[in-house]
Amino acid sequence: MRRIAAQVSLYPLRQVSLSPAIKEALCIFQEYGLSVTPGAMSTVIVGDGEAVFGALQQAFQRAAERGDVVMTVTFSNACPVPEEEEPGSASQAWRAIGYVENECLEPGSADRLRSAESRIVLDPQFVEGLTGVEPGQKLMVIFHFHRSRGYELLQHPRGDQTRPLRGVFALRSPYRPNPIGVTVVDVVAVEGNVLRVRGLDAIHGTPVLDLKPA
């Protein structure tokens, strides 16, 4: 079966915590070898059709074992992530290594985001890559502005119309030709495949692309 994309939303009902069922579903998608892009309200998975349907069936069954659950899925065979492109081509597809968890569900003040603690949840297959990362260390987090749409080369800093226009490459605006964000954070704790950090200006569900020492 050809590659397809599916946009998945999983809603555990009347459960103390939503995270366990959602995290387990993400792990199942990865185990099936799918490309997984978590979002604030839904997750996009891409892969061979049989793998996609198999992963969704198992994810629903495992979530249902925990209690009542609602899963909504939209399928497409017209807009999956490209298989592979030649080096130097105009566009590239990047795979997220994890995603952000925090209390900020919508874009807002960057200062408020940085002052709060966030969790970077890595795909379990990458946990060995955290060897040597310790509390107190500074890390550079590279992430995808997944809610950003379009860009302008000249923008008012932080959208403040009273401030003079500046070039997008002189700003941290999420509205950029390539919607990629970079922030240096302080590592608070390393707990298995989860990093607790402070200073991250990314909202809940943001896909994380890479981590590097600052």
Specify the pLDDT at position 186. 96
- Give the Å distances, CA to CA, from 140 to 50, 77, 200: 37, 36, 10
Chunked mean pLDDT (size 10), the chain, 214 residues: 86 74 86 82 87 93 88 82 48 76 80 85 92 96 87 89 94 89 96 95 90 94
Specify the pLDDT at position 17. 67
Domain with CATH 3.30.70.930 in the chain: 3-76
Specify the pLDDT at position 15. 67
Q: How far apart are CA 30 and CA 61, in angstroms?
A: 16
The CATH architecture of the domain made up of 3-76 is 2-Layer Sandwich (3.30)
DSSP 45: E
Domain with CATH 2.40.30.70 in the chain: 98-213
Tell me the CATH number of domain 98-213, given options 2.40.30.70, 3.10.180.10, 3.90.1200.10, 3.60.21.10: 2.40.30.70
Specify the pLDDT at position 79. 62
Where do runs of H (alpha helix) occur along 67-179? Answer: 110-115
Q: How far apart are CA 200 and CA 84, in angstroms?
A: 31
Specify the pLDDT at position 85. 47
Specify the pLDDT at position 129. 95
> Looking at the whole model, is its pTM more than 0.75?
no
